[in-house]
Amino acid sequence: MATRLSVNINKIATLRNARGGNLPDVIKVALDCERFGAEGITVHPRPDERHIKYSDVVELKKAVNTEFNIEGYPDERFIELVLKLKPAQVTLVPDEPNVLTSNEGWDTIKNQSFLSSVVTDLRAAGIRVSLFLNPVMEFVEGAKAVNVQRIELFTGRYAALYPENEEKSIEPYVAAADFASEIGLEINAGHDLNLQNLKFFKQHIPALKEVSIGHSLICDALYYGLENTIQLYRRQLSD
Ligand code: PXP
């Protein structure tokens, strides 16, 4: 099964914000990513708007032609934004407002009633909902219980362990993915995926629907150019 590459363009906004003007132009970069082969565009607005701004998300929704995925913590402002824009997918992330990056998945048991109510509202608006999760069986089961269609496996720990022990790094992800598929959940993945570890992950999780990749892809683009880099990442995902 082909796995879609969704490019997270938050880093492009970070670069733009460093100078205050509109260079690089995030809309143009999103459209160029699509032209170069990205099958989706991901953004992660945070309350302080230090990367992508809420106004960028509104403009991107009008411009993006591939799958638009909005990630974030479901506070009131985020929910209002996504209900208004109705992107193809919303990925809910349990971020504290000031974390540097998303480094934890949901405890779907502790947060069951909160998540159930958010998921009900988003699904009623026709949005596919994915939950960012560590590869833990109870949390996968909890994701099913709150009625999402997908989970996004948080791959930070995989990426950290992969260089020293490939087999061990993938084990919990294979188990969680098998279980998720068995109970009817689709699977995405993201965080710290790169040109070294992506192919191995995809080979061991054949049901993988989509990866969202930002940091490493944008860093690689400094050396290889955006078009080549997107092609290189897509090649890691081909069957
Ligand atoms: N998925 C989620 C939920 C994220 O928060 C992030 C980072 O914003 C990513 C994927 C992409 O991670 P990376 O930038 O390490 O590729």
Domains of the chain by range and CATH? 4-236 (3.20.20.70)
Which backbone phi and psi does 153 adopt, to 5 degrees? Answer: -70, 125
Q: Looking at 34, 44, 51, 210, which residue is catalytic?
A: 44
> Any residues with CB less than 8 A from the CB of 40 and at least 6 apart, and which?
4, 5, 6, 7, 66, 67, 68, 69, 88, 210, 212
* Type of residue at 207: A
For ligand 1, the distance from its centroid to the CA atom of residue 150, given in whole angstroms, is: 16
Retrieve residue 43's tokens: 């953004």
Q: What amino acid is encoded at 125 in this protein? A: A
At 77 the three-state DSSP class reads helix
d(CA 101, CA 46): 10
Instruction: From the CA of 213, give the closest atom in ligand 1.
Output: 16
pLDDT digits (tens, 9 = 90+) for 43-76: 999 999 989 999 999 999 999 999 999 999 999 9
- What is the CA(191)–ligand 1 centre distance, in A? 4
pLDDT in tens, 26-39: 999 999 999 999 99
Give the binding-site residues of ligand 1, using a 6 Å CB cut-off: 8, 10, 44, 71, 91, 93, 101-102, 132, 152, 190-193, 212-216
Q: Is 71 a catalytic residue?
A: yes
Q: Are 48 and 36 within 8 A, CB to CB? A: no
Q: What does pTM read for this prediction?
A: 0.97
